[in-house]
Amino acid sequence: MGFIKLLGSLLILFSTTWMGFYHGSRYSSRLKNLVYMEQCFKMLETEIVYGATPLPEALHNIHRKGNRKISFIFRDIREHLMEHGRGDIFYSFSSIIKPLKDDLHFTAEDIELFLSLGRVIGSSSRRDQEKNFQLILNQIGFLQEDAKDERDKHERLFKNLGILTGLAIIIILL
Amino acid sequence: MGRKDLVTYNNILKYICMDLSRVLEDVPTQYKKIIEEIRLRNGSPMNIYFNNKDYFITEGGALTNEYRKGILVDKEHIDETFQLISNYSIYAFEEEIKNGFITLKGGHRVGIGGKVLYSNGEIESIRNISSLNIRIAREKIGVSNKIIRYVTNNQNTIYNTLIISPPQCGKTTILRDLIRNLSNGTYDSNGRGFKIGVIDERSEISGMYNGIPQHNIGLRTDVLDNCNKQDGTMIFLRAMSPDIIAMDEIGSISDVKSIHEILKAGVKVIATVHGDTMEDLLSKRSLGLLIEDRIFKRYIFLNNSRGVGTIADIVEGDGFTSIKELEEVSIWGL
């Protein structure tokens, strides 16, 4: 009997701890992904401003060179663009809102910034594009700081909360 | 021939926004093969142009002269089309936009109208695009076959030649085919091909796209794309050792200087110019000099009295007498 109780308690503890860690890790993964995103944006800027590479090709290059964790979104945008060919790039950018949110743990603010790139990219001269990129990179810096704060605040909290909730449940049940 | 024209037309539709290309798809096939221009203007009905006439297109794809029935083009259509034309990368076409046109794959050209922005006295860009003119390039291979014997001479070289025509009568097409013939050496069975340098200031002769000529300009042809005639002349003469230099639409004093440079180097010239008659040419100061100096030995006059590409006259350049033996028909090989 005691053995089953112990097993049950451990099971509860494991699952709540896992939940706590999972929830907490969303914050650090958001931060990481924002950093990768910044790198990809910088690469994209170089392709556009210095290389004057046509956008579909530039997106392809970022997919190849960028960090694997997030570079798939550039492939998806390109594919969407080529497939639909509506002459509207913002439409293709907004087609990947779901993976941004679910897979990369981006917040509404992050996604808004990402979409704001979709509104301006490709649609003006190189000098203009450079300015837009600067603005967006600047903002992504703020978002990273925000993500860092959030992580420091919440990651520990959720992890501890997971363990403690598990312990609390076990005590109540025992 | 007809099939190829149809394919060309369908390729063009990829560059036009969906709302409008759907309508253009429904245009009767016999027109698809001959449409020369598709014009989009902000707030006006879509306009197509062929055989010197223009038509509007109804919602169902029928041609009409009544503008009220034509499908209206709005700002979104123009913006979307422009995005497609520039491959979503307006920044990559900055130089082309400054010149007022973009060359598409296939050598087709899209003229741009809009608000011109200046910076430091130079055109910086064109914003707020208000009209697009999609000119469908239809290569006419073989149109110069009948006139090539007027241009070549027995000493295995050619005469300096000037092609004169009003707009839209086929001067660039004839020039391109002359270049192809001379470059390939197909103008007579044992003829050698000439090394030809093409100064393609407006990307019209070769239709260069990503460094690949989209038109057949022959085996021994080198192209300087988007290059002005003075610079192009110097570049070619320095190290490309051409037998012939070809250029489109001469007219300015600097063009005349370039031609003198070319002649000094013992290279032959083929050029085109806007105009109607010899008197018309003489009245232009810079060209008048060239003509009076007897620099050109052959003048080929085109018009469209019997359809685009009618050879109106061929004049030799020493005594200014007509040497034309052809009948007056369009050499478009219809």
- At A77-126, the pLDDT tens digits run 999 988 886 768 898 999 999 989 888 899 999 999 999 999 999 888 88
Contact between A70 and A80 under an 8 Å Cβ cutoff? The reply is: no
Mutation for testing the B interface, residue in A125, A127, A129, A130 having most B CBs under 10 Å: A125
Contact between A41 and A59 under an 8 Å Cβ cutoff? The reply is: no
Tell me how many degrees the CA angle A48-A64-A132 measures, rounded to the nearest 5. Answer: 25
Count the domains in chain B: 2
Q: Which of B135, B165, B187 is the last residue of a domain?
A: B135
Residue B328 falls inside a structural domain: no
Give the pLDDT confidence of B181-224 residue by residue, as tens digits.
999 887 654 567 899 999 998 888 898 887 889 899 999 999 99
Rounded CA separation B253/B235 (Å): 19
Rounded CA separation B60/B72 (Å): 13
Contact between A42 and A134 under an 8 Å Cβ cutoff? The reply is: no
Query: Are B192 and B251 members of one domain?
Result: yes
Asked if A124 lies within 8 A of B84 by C-beta distance, the reply is: no
What tokens appear for A96 in the block?
Answer: 């990947």
* Band of residue B332 on the pLDDT scale cut at 50, 70, 90: low
Its domain, for residue B222, covers: 148-316
**Residue A61 with chain B: CB contacts under 8 Å:** none
Residue B333 falls inside a structural domain: no
Mutation for testing the B interface, residue in A53, A55, A77, A93 having most B CBs under 10 Å: A55
Rounded CA separation B99/B201 (Å): 10
Model confidence at A63: pLDDT above 80: yes
Q: Which of B135, B162, B181 is the last residue of a domain?
A: B135
Asked if B89 lies within 8 A of A89 by C-beta distance, the reply is: no
Phi/psi-derived region of residue B128, left when phi > 0, alpha when psi is between -120 and 50, beta in every other case? left
Residues of A with CB under 8 A from a CB of B: 48-49, 52-56, 58, 81, 85-89, 121-126, 128-129
Rounded CA separation A78/A74 (Å): 6
Which position has the higher pLDDT, B77 or B140?
B77
Model confidence at A34: pLDDT above 90: yes
Sequence-ordered list of residues with C-beta below 8 angstroms from that of B132, at least 6 positions apart, any chain:
B39, B40, B78, B81, B82, B85, B110, B111, B112, B113
In chain A, what are the domain boundaries? 2-173
Q: B211: exposed, middle or buried (C-beta count within 10 Å: 0-12, 13-18, 19+)?
A: exposed
Contact between A130 and A55 under an 8 Å Cβ cutoff? The reply is: no
Model confidence at B328: pLDDT above 70: no
Asked if B88 lies within 8 A of A56 by C-beta distance, the reply is: yes
Length of chain A as a residue count = 174
Residue B206 falls inside a structural domain: yes
Asked if B83 lies within 8 A of A87 by C-beta distance, the reply is: yes
Asked if B91 lies within 8 A of A52 by C-beta distance, the reply is: yes
Query: Are B129 and B154 members of one domain?
Result: no
CATH number at residue B229: 3.40.50.300
**Average predicted confidence (pLDDT) for chain B:** 87
Per DSSP, the residues of A33-94 read HHHHHHHHHHHHHIIIIIT---HHHHHHHHHHHS-HHHHHHHHHHHHHHHHH--S-HHHHHH
Cβ-based contacts under 8 A for chains A and B: 61
**Residue B82 with chain A: CB contacts under 8 Å:** 87
Pairing assessment for the beta strands B244-247 and B221-225 based on DSSP bridges: unpaired
**Residue B118 with chain A: CB contacts under 8 Å:** none
Residue B111 is predicted with a pLDDT of 93
- Tokens 């087609």 belong to A95
Residue B189 is predicted with a pLDDT of 47
Contact between A21 and A165 under an 8 Å Cβ cutoff? The reply is: no
Model confidence at B105: pLDDT above 90: no
Asked if B87 lies within 8 A of A56 by C-beta distance, the reply is: yes
CATH number at residue B82: 3.30.450.90
Q: Which of B272, B328, B276 is nearest to B296 (CA)?
A: B272
Residue B334 is predicted with a pLDDT of 42
Chain A CB within 8 Å of residue B228 CB:
no
Rounded CA separation B179/B223 (Å): 11
